[in-house]
Amino acid sequence: MSEEANQSSGQVKQFLYVNRRAPHGSNYAQEGLEVALIGAAFEQDVVMAYVDDGVFQLKSQQDTSDIGTKNFGATYGALGDYDVQTIYVEKESLEMRGLTEDDLMPLVYEDEDDDWEEKPMINIVSACQLAEIIDQSDVVLNF
């Protein structure tokens, strides 16, 4: 289907936000999260991916008091409220940084099709699987 046909039919595009940078030391992580929330607020199909040092963004119980920056980690909990249901985390990136899925925030969304049951958002995928996900996305934005 052509780009014009997609727009005129009202088809929602899938936006994949790829987060590659550590949560602190630059604005990329916070801005990436804010842009994803804005896209979701405008009813786009928002999917997020975390690779490289970006996996540290999802680490639970971050304490930023020693580095003097605001901890925006609680904002990830709002993703489900904006109908963001899928977060991909690259397995190899976790392993290279000594992290496991248990080290990540317990992010969930409420599935309205399943009597508002809470379901996990985080999906651990291989680098090959993530490459396929990136290839199948309509729009890919890197942060």
Q: Is 48 helix (H, G, I), strand (E, B) or coil?
A: strand
Is the model's pLDDT at 39 over the cut of 50? yes
Q: What are 40-68's pLDDT values in tens digits?
A: 999 899 999 999 999 999 999 887 777 76
Q: 79-128: per-residue pLDDT in tens?
A: 999 999 999 999 999 999 999 999 999 999 998 777 788 999 999 999 99
Structural domains in the chain, sorted by start? 13-142 (3.40.1260.10)
Amino acid 90: pLDDT: 98
